[in-house]
Chain A
């Protein structure tokens, strides 16, 4: 184990050619190197060998599904998962001395990389009004303080309760129950910023907000689209599924503004062919699309399929499926036939021939899956784009069938489960009725605030108390300057956290740090040692059981913190929620969940089985809970992004050495960026047009129709094969450029993949 760094890492950029393959031996070396710098060899071994195993620790990294029990590798994790879990299992500790040595102002000037490297939080801390230091506080006083502030509010709607996807099903259920018993539906979550567009689009058109495929479907697909996602960095274990699919004869079409290494080739480090061989080619076709061009692409593909049906009637479309199971086909078809090729070419940056070749791939394939991630959802047209993908799948009956379907790839391990547990500001009355009947209180019915609207409400002074359970809200949220000012305007901000991050440094008048157990740690309660449950991206609910000794005896579990807070805030009412029983034994929570949440009946017994519970997806049972009771074709319109001369469309993205908002180093190995994160990647032809050169220093300036200047300062220009007219830079450094009002239609999700910017040269 290495000591935590005293100073920020030196910014010293070097650039090498981007990699054309992902994983391989370097992935193993980097994972072990980072793990052993954080913790001991013994703990590294315990973590890694139980990670993603039946009855082991669920990787908190991403939500990719595990293979069925009996089919898992001894090492069932990826480079980034190994780094992430040992980042949590670090033996570095933050104590009261640390906070005596570093004021909040000092910490606010530090990077999230540096803050994270300091180690695990070990005791509750408070920053009192007027003070610039956190100081120790007992759990009793900390929770009394928070409960007192909540009780003193004029209305429960003056508080918000934010959740990140690390939170277990049990803690999520308890949190939403507490918020609603307290009297508000203000439950923003990280989904609001990642896959909210997927939820809205799928729910409207298919009647379910979840993906319809399993790992087996991917293995048996004929054709897989990877659209707006970067599996090599953000869901590396997906590459194993893609490798299997290729071995079974699948073809893959990748659609992305950047030719990411993981889209091109995968060397599986668990196989000899991946260690000493060439690995497997991932994308058979790569469409170098412009950011936000995906709706135009799929609409053009749909037009081509309709025309192919015209040319050879009865051979292209699945007429029986369209007739029996869908609505709105005629209106959709009329609309899709009118799409203009000039508009498509201008918006996608692709040629008609490229799209026609993809059509031919589709026509040769009986089973098609479309996978997507934030390259789709974080655009103004995110919802209509996914609806158009659904149209594309419906045309040839690629839903509800083995080897076919819709696959939104989620990023955080339990982000889907948290929503299943009722973490949503707009839960339907049927769910609230069930809560009422189960617990004997009437939950509030007025919709609450999502993430963007929470920031707006804070800015306007309508929110006084912010409680974040996991996550790094301030960095994850858009419009950094606005968000920071909003947080600082709160009377109290409190965070339930394992490690220090930027959100602890951007405080309300009073601030609390409530340190909690990590996934890796044993959770001992009055009722015995506990496990928690999580739901992956493919709707499988399973257990996660920590193995390590907690980082400090003063840590409480998330469930314990929330139950104690609830008792202090609510006293004996309303209703009859057994908070003490919940804290003592999480199976009591699961019993209640089983009576409320669809598909989780008999939760405790069924989740104990190896592999857990597979939640049924109504689409795969021929049931569409939509307005028409059928899968719905929709008509979707779009506008070519208006990018004036001298401007670029910026997308924010993660580096390979980063987990969500937290960078581990300044390197991005796959993209060939080393030693710096303040880089902006631009197509060389665009650089020429902008009279810029490699190494030039620029400010990235956002362009938005308000009077606010949004500027990310001091970036170095790197020529990179981004799609023409676009640029890419790291998140969260460029969140400052994403206007709070720049959101996806319908889903209200920030448009972090489509920000109009200009580059201003800075004279050294």
Chain B
């Protein structure tokens, strides 16, 4: 498994940077390799990524997520196996240092990328720059999910998401 890591400093507070990162379905608006994201539920997302003529689709599970701190994920299934972590560290002057670390096996798009010296790093650096430009340009996050995930499960303690005034009922 090969690993790439990139860090970028962003001129927004850590909460803003983190909140924007939780809006995965927005990623195609500013990232060029991310073509589509569907959030199935808080811990599961479906991704279509592409580079040139290549297209790959995979599901990921968020394994751990702590607001304003970090988020780790892993791909589901064996074909495009990779895992990653993004950490958010406050920096003096209402700025945030964002570090993404990704590891991939030899197969799949990320595997191909990591097999080419420097390619994965260049893509990652470019996409982080896109993220920086987006959130700095807006100055505020387009949404937020402030839940906590541990071991792939959303944990209690966060306020329940706003719902209908109607309670649930058994479904036979």
Contact = CB atoms under 8 A, between A and B. Distances in A.
B44 A402 contact: yes
Interface stretch (A269-277, A611-619, A634-642): A611-619
B43 A431 contact: no
A439 to B, nearest CB: 14
Interface in A399-439: 399-403, 415-416, 419-420, 424, 426-428, 430-431, 433-434
A695 interface: no
Given A220-B59, A401-B151, A598-B166, A621 B76 contact: no
Contacts of B163: 598-599
A734 B145 CA distance: 53
B165 A430 contact: yes
A397 B155 contact: no
Q: Which of B41, B76, B167, B171 has the most CB of A within 10 A?
A: B171
Interface string A206-240: 01111000101001100000000000000000000
Nearest to B154: A622
Interface residues of A, number: 65
Given A403-B76, A620-B42, A192 B172 contact: yes
A231 to B, nearest CB: 20
Contacts of A625: 167-168
Contact of B171 (A397, A403, A420, A618): A420
B43 A620 contact: yes
B84 interface: no
Given A216-B46, A249-B78, A598-B163, A320 B169 contact: no
Contacts of B92: none
Interface stretch (A75-83, A195-203, A652-660): A195-203
Interface string A8-45: 00000000000000000000000000000000000000
B172 to A, nearest CB: 3
Contacts of A749: 172
A749 B165 CA distance: 30
A621 B46 contact: no
A65 B160 CA distance: 27
Contacts of B172: 189, 191-192, 194-200, 209, 415, 419, 424, 747, 749
A434 B166 contact: yes
A154 interface: no
B82 to A, nearest CB: 15
Given A620-B42, A623-B160, A248 B165 contact: no
For the residues of B in contact with A, the DSSP-based class is: loop
Contacts, number: 149
A627 interface: no
Contacts of B38: 68
B42 A621 contact: yes
Nearest to B61: A402
A307 interface: no
B64 to A, nearest CB: 12
Contacts of A614: 40
Contacts of B90: none
A77 B84 CA distance: 38
Nearest to A594: B164
Interface in B30-78: 38, 40-44, 46, 59, 61, 76-78
A715 to B, nearest CB: 31
A573 B67 CA distance: 52
Contacts of A426: 169
Contacts of A431: 166-167, 169
B166 A219 contact: no
B117 interface: no
A321 interface: yes
A320 B77 CA distance: 25
A35 B110 CA distance: 47
Given A189-B172, A209-B172, A325-B155, A428 B167 contact: yes
Interface in A725-756: 747, 749
B46 to A, nearest CB: 7
A597 interface: yes
B168 A321 contact: no
Interface in B60-107: 61, 76-78
B170 to A, nearest CB: 3
Nearest to B44: A402
A247 B139 CA distance: 46
Interface string B139-167: 00000000100111111101011011111
Given A400-B152, A402-B44, A598-B163, 9 more contacts: A203-B169, A207-B168, A397-B153, A400-B154, A416-B171, A427-B169, A620-B42, A620-B44, A622-B154
19 contacts: A191-B172, A209-B172, A216-B44, A216-B46, A248-B78, A324-B150, A401-B152, A402-B61, A402-B152, A403-B76, A426-B169, A428-B166, A428-B167, A616-B41, A621-B42, A622-B42, A622-B156, A623-B160, A623-B161
Please provide the 6 A-B residue pairs with the shortest distance between their CB atoms, ordered closest to farther. Answer: A622-B154, A191-B172, A199-B170, A209-B171, A196-B172, A209-B170
